Amino acid sequence: MLWRRRGLLAVALAFVLLNVVAFFHAWRFTHFVAENGQRADSPERLTLPQKLWLLATGVRTPKSRNHTLPTFPYATVQLPGPNGRLASWYGAVPRARGTVALFHGYTSSKSHLLTEAGYFRRLGYNVLLTDFAGNGGSAGYQCTVGHHEAADVAAVTRWLQKRPGPVVIYANSMGAVATLRAESELGVRPTANVLECPYGSMLATAQSRFRSMHVPAFPLANLLVFWGGVANHFQAFDLDATAYAARTPTPTLLLWGTADSRVTRAETDAIFAALAGPKQRQDFPGSGHEPYWWKHEALWQRTVAGFTNQYSR
């Protein structure tokens, strides 16, 4: 009987330890720190001791910054948002065909979309680039990987819709998921969407995080999602871009890179199939989780221009 009690105690301690580790990961995954420095290397580049330490403690991620300013004329705009003040750059053009609102991905900032914004301006659109709450110049340090950020998308879109012309959303990764949730759950109706590599669900992106380290995803990914929801006061297992897509009637262009190790073809296929409105898709051979104009500038420009120009005045 003694050995049985010791075995049960060991199992209980292991279960508690596993949940403590998962909570650390969830907290650090969704809360940035106020310090200078760069993110830790991607999991694919870590040594074995570094991976073990990372597995035990999670990644401390500095809040993103905007290290580059626009080269085109712009105004700094501070927008009120439900998650805190939002820092935006607004670049107007004469006789605009409409406005493109640009939203970045996880641990990124609006300055990473300046090339895209510059191209939209050349096409004749005003542009509004916004840091999600917790990122760049916006208030706070919290990030929910698309859930709370949906309210930021809604606030920005509704602010733009008080002005003349159609509103097109261009969003990357986390921003794309936030856009789908804003339209599905919060009733936002832009004129059109251009969405780059949205992940399928919070669970899918957590599983990808562990697979990239060559660590079994179960049960840590499931615990990470559970504690991420608890720490940030939402049901994280319901953060599901495929379900949101099924309730999104907005015309949507979906972009994906065939070498993306973080968002799978299966996730992308499911989201595209579920989209409820007019839809178009373009894959970029050999591109990973990265801007597609890096390797396919002409194809990216042609695809984006052909789609957005259908919905401009």
**Taking the domains of the chain in order of start, what are their residue ranges?**
1-62+204-237, 75-201+239-312
Confidence of residue 53 (pLDDT cuts 50, 70, 90): confident
pLDDT > 80? residue 193: yes
Q: What is the pLDDT of residue 42?
A: 59
pLDDT > 60? residue 270: yes
Higher pLDDT, 88 or 312: 88
Fill in the DSSP letter of residue 296: -
CA dist 273 and 294 (Å) reads 27
Q: Which residues contact 105 (CB under 8 A, 6 or more apart)?
A: 112, 172, 173, 174, 175
Which two structure tokens, joined as six digits, stand for 40? 């830790």
User: Other C-beta atoms within 10 Å of 297: how many?
Assistant: 13
- In sequence order, what DSSP letters do the residues of 131-190 get, joined into one string? PPTTSTTSS-SB--TTTTHHHHHHHHHHHHTTSSS-EEEEEETHHHHHHHHHHHHS----
Q: What is the pTM of this model?
A: 0.92
pLDDT > 60? residue 39: no
- In 3D, which of 217, 184, 207, 212 has the Cα closest to residue 289? 212
- Given a contact cutoff of 8 angstroms between Cβ atoms, the answer to whether 30 and 232 are in contact is yes
The CATH code for residues 75-201+239-312 is: 3.40.50.1820
- Given a contact cutoff of 8 angstroms between Cβ atoms, the answer to whether 274 and 245 are in contact is yes
Tens digits of per-residue pLDDT, 246-265? 999 999 999 999 999 899 99
pLDDT > 90? residue 99: yes
